[in-house]
Chains A and B, each alone.
Chain A
């Protein structure tokens, strides 16, 4: 799993929001791909996927997915807010992180982080903008009902 329960919760939460907005058909796999991402992010983010099994179908076509990008973006935003607020402030979990975001009115900086990471992962500028919108909307959203 990831570095902490708060981190896991935050990253998967952000990814769900992004996927729900940009690729709703992937919603059913966000959790399971998220678990794999938290365990081994490099495997999920590999450009051509992990090493294909010797006896696989031999079809190397990679299907475009938003989920890995959404997960990676969530991880970057978490790191950004963590750097900004300090570790002691985020012991309270995802809710506190969101508060840090809202209190600091840090949307521009977060947007830059998200867009940079999305572009780095091969997404178009338009897609990166949409992903950033979704992330900021999710962070700006009120506390989770849970």
Chain B
């Protein structure tokens, strides 16, 4: 099987696993959460909310509780992950097994043997071609009778390979034998490569991912969006991210399909001896871009099959992105369970990640070296895969779920992009270095030396690239750690050049991380090529000169300056910079003898410089500056950088007479490999000591970090998703049932509904309140009001009768608070908008007839706080005594010829309404009929929908005539006092309506005004 095809297939499998794991993990979070999202719930329960600065909560107890909370979810989560992968495997297998059957059925492919005349003609040749292809047995040949093309297709399974030939191709048998041979051999080459099962597995995997992961995921998103969660930021982000993942999978799929064609063509060329076996088959249309390379590309590959060994940009870019996404997704799924700061998880993830990257690097190096050994063009062999790998690893970091979903947006910070650029460059350099080693290895690639070099590549990848996994986290630490430290260093150094140098050295110190692993990896960078090619003598001679130069530089840079701890710090920083300068000079000088010489010489310079810094700062059993404790934190790194610079800037001098030996890296100017032993020994000698610095000034600020500022939006999102929203919904819904249940008339059931509200509130009380104070106030006040309403509700409805008004008032107050809380949630505004009309109805007033308008009250006549209100809508009412519920205007022997009305609303939901009717004759006749009706209608009821009002009428009498009406409803009881004033043909009615009974004292002043306006 061609390595390129297998590599691409593995890439596809990787993406498929990443997609499936991510989707399964997403479902596990919602399916096992019960109430809200499981991980967000754990955050809420342990008071871990995002801060505006991106700084994490430093309370270890909270995190331990959070991890324990996540641990409780492990069983379900792992079940989902395993189930998702199992389902993917099962569906892939089913599609894979069904494909041959489906292809034969759909294409109505006829077995060639079943067409005797045709079979007799082509069988001998097919036997011969099968033999030429080196296949142990002839595959099953079939005919596509509907296709006039000169094509074919190999399919089937490993046990039952099938080759289908187009009827057009079969006719070429007698018309153009070479073309017939070439196409049939091409299909047989797929069988010979054994890439048919893998190819169909590729298709099966792709389709299985669509079925198992993509469709359920989209369904889940649609359900969440239209189920009330709305389009929150993370949903939108994931909907943008997911297609990128799919595009990667599709690209990997297409890449597999194309790569196999090149390799099949290469075999055809070998078997036929013809560099362009398809020349007689000009295309009448362009091949589909998705599955086949262009004719020109195929021709280029058949003309020079060596290019198939050439590692390309896109293959390694795709592979690197895939590996980042896969490990990132796995880490995301396992985060908090095992991959957490207090376990070995992160280290194991880093090692696993490094193994994958090392495989990619070795693949690029080994194939590039093979290409060069085959005589391929030397230029840019490793440049393309190195660039692809570097960019893929860097950009792949941005596609990792934790980074995509990072609320702090650190992925967009300039520091993140800067670090990714550095990471891409380092990855490219590592790839180029591995290629260099592979070239030096030559034919010994498969032996023990090859394994040793691969192990070295792994160590280098782990140490030099492992930080890429968490690159965006450094941006988060910038504001909390690096920035304060740099400010402090600035103050210590006193500004100017000293500040710049101190800050540069500080940043360089924080870069390499653990000095042992970093030094070990950087040692391998020069040791491996030096061992493979023998080190040049110039490496040691120039290195010796550089060592002396470093000592001198340390002495010179340490002259002058204050004798304070701050002065010691500044002097050390200058000394480090001076040693680095010497390293660059020495590397450039040694470069003329090769890159190995530059590396070793700069390394030796660094060793001597580090030792000199120790000596210069030794005082009382320790050193006087923190930076002077271990210069080896940074000098190996700068040695390699200096050598890389030298390699880029200075050309190597190649003596003509030694061209051949030098090509293998060995010349008469080389020394024995044993000369490297002292270099390693002195490296260890300067690496291990770590002298104390008791009097040194600290680099980091000693004052406590500023208090974390809660990010209100992100915090409310976490609270809502973690269960707050669900609990709020529960309370509101239970309260709604209790509210509307008051009209049902089933009092025991209503008591149960009220008790349910109490239970829901108790559940809500057990959950932490919203983290934002204003939201917490709405939550607490709302729950309190709702609880009071529910308790009053239970009390009122447990008795045979009672006034439900307090229940309504409390529930209304609670709803007001809950609505305000809902508006503070990330998607609450949309929910509120959906539940309320977009614009309130415009207040309308009925313009009265001119002659009656003067009789109406105005706002000036009313007590303060009353304003004109729009007329109330007239509900459709039914009554057990319809004559009692008729409009006053309709009562009596005459109908009004003109009418006017006005309504005012005031404090406490009190309303005052005035109706003025002009009758054709004296109005006292109408009033008499009204008083008679009121006397007869002492008790009756009216209903509107589910609501029934029990109305009681008490006639007070007098002049003006007065009646008091009580409206007993399920939610509240209202009281009305109605006053009738008659002047001639005009009847004026004043109605005082409110939750409390109205007395004569409340109404007398307005009645007097009405009487006055009526001319009384």
Instruction: Indicate which residue in B108, B143, B175 contacts A39 across the interface (CB closer than 8 Å).
Output: B108
Task: Say whether B1010 faces chain A, with CB atoms less than 8 Å apart.
Answer: no
- Choose among B121, B146, B168, B257 the residue that contacts A36 (Cβ–Cβ < 8 A): B146
Contact A59 B150 (CB under 8 A): yes
Let me know if A50 is at the binding interface, CB within 8 A.
Answer: yes
A52-B288 in contact (CB<8A)? yes
Instruction: Determine whether A146 belongs to the interface, using a CB cutoff of 8 Å to chain B.
Output: no
Contact code string A56-68 (vs B, CB < 8 Å = 1, else 0): 1111111111001
**Contacts between chains A and B (CB distance < 8 A), count:** 126
Report yes or no: A29 in contact with B118, Cβ–Cβ below 8 A.
yes
Which of these, B168, B203, B293, contacts A62 with CB under 8 Å? B168
B contact face: mostly helix, strand, loop, or mixed: mixed
Minimum C-beta distance from A44 to chain B (A)? 5
What's the Cα separation between A63 and B282 when bound, in Å?
11
0 or 1 for each of B118-154: is its CB under 8 Å from A? (1 = yes): 1001000000000000000000000111111111111
In the complex, whether A145 has a CB less than 8 A from a CB of chain B is no
Q: Is B663 an interface residue (CB 8 A)?
A: no
Is A59 in contact with B110, judged by CB distance below 8 angstroms?
no
**Residue in chain A with minimal CB distance to B173:** A25
Say whether B193 faces chain A, with CB atoms less than 8 Å apart: no
For window 266-307 of chain B, which residues contact chain A by CB distance below 8 Å? 278, 281-288, 290-293
Query: Are A55 and B203 interface neighbours, CB within 8 A?
Result: yes
- Please state if B281 and A54 are interface contacts (CB–CB under 8 Å): no
Chain A neighbourhood of B153, CB < 8 A: 53, 55-57
- Whether B145 contacts A35 by the Cβ 8 Å rule is yes
Q: Which of A26, A31, A57, A60 contacts B186 (CB 8 A)?
A: A57
Contact A63 B149 (CB under 8 A): yes
Contacts A52-B151, A55-B153, A59-B183 given; does A25 touch B175 at CB 8 Å: yes
Contact of A56 among B108, B152, B203 (CB under 8 A): B152
Give the complex CA separation of A26 and B166 in angstroms: 13
B195 to chain A, nearest CB (A): 10
| Interface residue from B167, B171, B291 paired with A58 (Cβ < 8 Å) | B291
Contact in complex: A65, B148 (CB < 8 Å):
yes
Whether B150 pairs with A32 at a CB distance below 8 angstroms is: no
Q: Is A91 in the interface zone, CB < 8 Å from B?
A: no
For A27, list chain B residues within 8 Å (CB): 117
**In the assembly, what is the distance between CA of A56 and CA of B190, in Å?**
11
B148 touches A68 (CB 8 A): yes
Q: Tell whether, in the assembled complex, residue B145 and residue A36 are in contact, meaning their CB atoms are under 8 Å apart.
A: yes
A45 CA / B293 CA spacing, docked (Å): 27
Cβ < 8 Å to B, chain A residues 99-127: none
A68 to B144, CA, bound (A): 14
For B, the interface residue count at a CB cutoff of 8 angstroms equals 51
Asked if B148 and A28 make an inter-chain contact with CB atoms under 8 angstroms apart, the answer reads: no
* Interface contact B171-A25, CB-CB below 8 Å: yes
The answer to whether A60 touches B146, judged by C-beta atoms less than 8 angstroms apart, is: no
B170 CB–A CB distance under 8 Å: yes
Q: How far is the CA of A90 from the CA of B104 in the complex (A)?
A: 36
CA distance A48 to B285 in the complex (A): 9
A35→B107 CA distance, assembly (Å): 13
Which residues of chain A have C-beta atoms less than 8 A from B143's C-beta?
A: 29, 32
Given the known A-B contacts A49-B166, A61-B282, A65-B167, are A44 and B151 also in contact in the complex, defined by CB atoms under 8 Å? no
Is A43 located at the chain interface by the 8 A CB criterion?
yes
In the assembled complex, which residues on chain A have CB atoms less than 8 Å from the CB atom of B955? none
Task: Decide: A32 and B145 in contact? CB cutoff 8 A.
Answer: yes
Please name the residue on chain A nearest to B116 by beta carbon: A28
A36 touches B108 (CB 8 A): yes
B121 contacts A48, C-beta separation under 8 Å: no
Asked if A40 is an interface residue, CB under 8 A from chain B, the answer is: yes
Interface residues of B in 92-121 (CB under 8 A from A): 103, 107-108, 110, 115, 117-118, 121
Interchain residue pairs A-B with the least CB separation, the first 6 = A58-B292, A63-B168, A61-B281, A36-B145, A56-B153, A28-B117
24 inter-chain pairs at a CB distance below 8 angstroms, sorted by A residue, are A25-B174, A28-B115, A29-B118, A29-B167, A32-B167, A33-B167, A48-B285, A49-B148, A49-B149, A49-B166, A50-B107, A52-B147, A54-B257, A55-B153, A56-B153, A57-B186, A58-B287, A58-B288, A59-B149, A59-B183, A59-B283, A60-B287, A62-B150, A63-B171
Known: A32-B167, A52-B151, A53-B153. 8 other contacts (CB 8 A): A27-B117, A48-B284, A49-B147, A53-B107, A55-B199, A55-B257, A57-B183, A63-B168
Chain B contact residues, CB within 8 Å of chain A: 103, 107-108, 110, 115, 117-118, 121, 143-155, 166-172, 174-175, 183, 186-187, 199-200, 203, 257, 261, 278, 281-288, 290-293
Chain A residues with CB under 8 Å of chain B are 25-29, 31-33, 35-36, 39-40, 43-44, 48-50, 52-65, 68
